[in-house]
Chains A and B, each alone.
Chain A
Amino acid sequence: MEAFIRSRPASAHAEAARRLAAEAHFRAALLGDALDERRRHLDSALALTPDVPKLHFHRALTLWQLGQLNEVLPELNIAATREPQRPGLAYLRALASIAVGQPWDTAGLSEAEVNTLQLVKQFCQHRSRGKTLTVKEPLLGRGTEMWQALVAMAKDPTAAPQAQLKVAAEQNSRKPISRILNYYRGVAALRAGDREAARNAWTVARGAGMNSPRLDENLTALMRAEVIELAEAGRWQDVMHLLGRLPNVETDRILAETGTLACFHLGYEAAQADKWQAAAQHWRKANELSTSRYIAQNLALAEEALGNWANAAEAWREMVRRRPRKEDHPDYLSDLQVAALWRHAAECYEHVGQTDEVETCLRNALKYAPDDTALRLRLADLLLNQQRGDAAETQLKELLAIEPQHVEALVHLARLYQTRWSTDSLPIWRQVLAINPTHPEAREALATYYVSLVDPDDPYIAARLNLRYPGKTLTEVLELGLQELPGHPQLLAQMGIVYARQNQPKLAREYLLQAFQAAPQDANIADVVLHELLHADDGDMVLKLIPTVRQIPRLLPMFWFNQATQALKCGLGEKWADVFVTEALGLVGQPWIDDTLAGLLIEAFGTVSDHGAKSLASLLEQRARDEVPTSGAVQYMEAYRLYHEKHDEKGAMRLIHDAIRYARRAGDQGVLRRAEAIDLLLKGGPSFFDMKRILRDLFPEMR
């Protein structure tokens, strides 16, 4: 349409189009609610038809509602020039004149309009000039309550005509009027000390579209006063309830801070009552609203109490982030405190196995406490557990640079070096021994090293020895070891073995006895000493030592079966196998032995039979017949013989089934688990998992 108007500006059609477009803008303006939009449409209409008085009239009203009071009167004057009789114009011109302090006349005004305008003028001059207020009826509006109430309130700052204003608002229910009356109803209520009524009235005024800074300020002041009073009385739950009913709490700093404080208090009360779930909820909320490190600290402790370790770690980290950085701040945290927090966060992550985070936290802790050796050792430990040897080595070396005598770090480093071909752990172990000569692991490591050099059964022993100790004999090398580790039982025992192999039984006996005396409760040493003494032809000494060996805590039958096996293997005679088997059987009934006599008898039977000790096997079988005839052990032994001597697998299986039946009936678990294991094997071989179970059943000590 605009293009059409531009193309023929002077034509009748263009004029009609202009009027049509202007009317369209006019209607759009008046039918919309947004005042700015209304003004834009009216400006557009006036640009098309500048002489139309209704456009000036409505533009004036719009400017008034927009608060641009100085532009109102000129627009109304234009409208009055062109359409003096326009309804309402005289009243509004007079009102606009009063508003800008200009004279006005009563021409064309009704009595109610004149009275109302005079009252308005009195209001305008009441405060500045102290003019008295006089209500003269009739007045505009339904009923005179509103004017009487407002006049009373203006005259007397304590007047609170709530009832009158309520009636007035109900009678004049058009929103733009009622919202003003409701606002003053709220003012009257507050003057009377009724906060609830004030809040309700102001909320209604706001809901009806009142957009006055005074209303906002009064509402904020009211809410704040209520919240502060509740908070000062320690009624934190009520504070939260009230804040929950208020809009835009977060935009008011004081309200937001009071809300946070309420959460802080409620959380603390809950924690004191051991209600950690509630405490955590309050502090989580407070933590979102506040940057206080104390809230983060309490939240972290609550999360820990609930076992929420990752959350706890996050809260500790948040606490670190929130710390003040200026040293003169009262809440400043020293480097050691920051390190302690990082370390604690690491511990939280450890609970949930978040090793990446553990490492990050430990490294952060070390930034603040670089000389904390315990912390560095912990990081090294973590890295070692992750098979990150190089990184662990770096940490251990840094630790040792701080504290060269740190035994644990040395031990960690030595262990790490032991796992590599390229590094020698011996110097580190020697360092450990220099600090603590009795350090068991270091002594063991060094002893093992010497023993490995002089193993008489090693085919490469000469080359190995020559490489390390050229020109030295086996005993000379062991002497070196004993100089370094005086009285070490492993070295003494090895010396005994070497002398026994060199046919020097006297020296062998001497060293073996020394080894035994150095470690009478060490089963490994006892194992070597007993066997090697038999090689050194000192059976009497073996018999003498056996009572002491029996005293080794929690000694298992397997120890003695092993002695028996070695004795048979080395051809030392069935007599010794019998001695050792008897010792094994003597362990039945000891509290740490989870086996039966019948079970151990068939174990012993199998052990001696495997090494051809037939007469001893017969004795054991006879003992089974005499002492545990219904345990199934006899059937088991018969099955063993049938299978190994007559290769009768079927017959053996039948007897094994008999053994199982007997064992079940007798409740003999020792026979039962062995017979069931054999049954599985005979049935076609156990699966991998069966094999594991069988091994576990047969050797409970392997569990």
Chain B
Amino acid sequence: MVTRTVTKPPKDPYAVLGIARTDDEAAIKRAYFRLVREYPPEREPEKFQELRAAYERIRSAEARSQTDLFLLQPPPAMPRRRKLAYDLDVHADDILMLALELGLARLSVQEDFHEPELPTR
């Protein structure tokens, strides 16, 4: 049996609770209770369910370690990279090479091609 059902990654519970991935358990708890006061179950049952589900997924370290495995991971920031220094000097070895090539440019290699004299019988 081959299926091609698709599943979207589950909602990010950190985003639902409006906290950072790095926040500790106390911060998670604070955020949850603040939101629950804002969206009490009797007035906002759906929102409350969403908050509750998100909280349950990350409320303990163990739950969090499992949940994090199946969440999209934000890419890290660009690390500080040292830029390489340029060499913008004029170098004598380049000038020597230039002078050499100027000298060579005036030579004709063909002139050095000679037919060797061969002995007659």
Residues of A within 8 A of B (CB): 12-13, 15-16, 19-20, 22-23, 26-27, 30, 54, 58, 61, 64-65, 87-88, 91-92, 95, 98-99, 116-117, 120, 123-124, 126-127, 140-141, 146, 150, 153-154, 157, 174, 176-177, 180-181, 183-184, 187, 190-191, 212, 214, 217-218, 220-222, 224-225, 228, 231-232, 234, 254, 258, 261, 264-265, 267-268, 271, 294, 297-298, 301, 304-307, 309, 333-334, 336-337, 340-341, 344, 351-353
Contact = CB atoms under 8 A, between A and B. Distances in A.
A115 to B, nearest CB: 11
A153 B4 CA distance: 66
A19 B81 CA distance: 61
Contact of A26 (B62, B74, B112): B112
11 contacts: A20-B118, A23-B115, A87-B106, A95-B96, A124-B92, A140-B99, A180-B94, A221-B86, A254-B81, A268-B75, A301-B72
B21 to A, nearest CB: 11
Nearest to B81: A228
Interface string B90-105: 1110111111111111
A353 B99 contact: no
B69 A30 contact: no
Q: Tell which of B66, B86, B105 has the most Cβ of chain A within 10 Å.
A: B86
Contact of B86 (A177, A222, A334, A352): A222
Interface of B is mostly: loop
Contact of A298 (B6, B73, B81): B73
Given A20-B118, A88-B106, A268-B72, A30 B1 contact: no
A92 B74 CA distance: 63
Given A95-B103, A221-B83, A337 B66 contact: yes
Contacts of A120: 92, 95-96, 99
Contacts of B92: 120, 123-124, 126-127
Contacts of A212: 94
B113 A176 contact: no
Given A16-B119, A92-B103, A217-B84, A306 B72 contact: no
B85 interface: yes
A298 B74 CA distance: 9
A336 B94 contact: no
A271 B107 CA distance: 65
Interface size class of B (residues with CB under 8 A): 35 or more
Interface string B58-70: 0000100110011
A334 B72 CA distance: 19
A225 B84 contact: yes
B7 A154 contact: no
Nearest to B67: A340
B109 interface: yes
Given A16-B119, A127-B92, A304-B6, A58 B1 contact: no
A261 B75 contact: yes
Contacts of B1: 353
B83 A228 contact: yes
Interface of A is mostly: helix
Contact of A180 (B69, B76, B97, B118): B97
B112 A30 contact: yes
Contacts of A298: 72-73
A59 to B, nearest CB: 12
Given A19-B116, A88-B106, A261-B76, A177 B84 contact: no
A218 B78 contact: no
Given A221-B83, A234-B78, A301-B72, 9 more contacts: A99-B96, A117-B99, A120-B92, A124-B92, A231-B78, A261-B75, A309-B4, A337-B65, A344-B70
B26 interface: no
Contact of A13 (B3, B86, B95, B119): B119
B84 A351 contact: no
A305 B97 contact: no
A214 B87 contact: yes
Contact of B104 (A61, A153, A353): A61
B100 to A, nearest CB: 6
Contacts of B95: 120, 123-124, 150
B78 A261 contact: yes
B23 interface: no
A305 B103 contact: no
A212 B105 CA distance: 20
B42 interface: no
Contacts of B113: 23, 26-27
B7 A176 contact: no
A87 B103 CA distance: 10
Contact of B103 (A12, A140, A261, A353): A140
Nearest to A222: B86
Nearest to A265: B75
B54 to A, nearest CB: 17
A140 B78 contact: no
A305 B70 contact: no
B90 A218 contact: no
B88 A87 contact: no
A54 B112 contact: yes
A268 B76 CA distance: 11
B90 A153 contact: yes
Q: Which 4 residue pairs across A and B have the least CB separation, nearest first?
A: A221-B84, A19-B116, A264-B75, A307-B6
Given A92-B100, A180-B98, A271 B72 contact: yes
A369 to B, nearest CB: 12
Contacts of B2: 352-353
B69 A341 contact: yes
A116 B95 CA distance: 10
A271 B99 CA distance: 59
A179 to B, nearest CB: 9
A352 B6 CA distance: 12
B118 A217 contact: no
A116 B99 contact: yes
B14 to A, nearest CB: 14
Contact of B105 (A174, A214, A297): A174
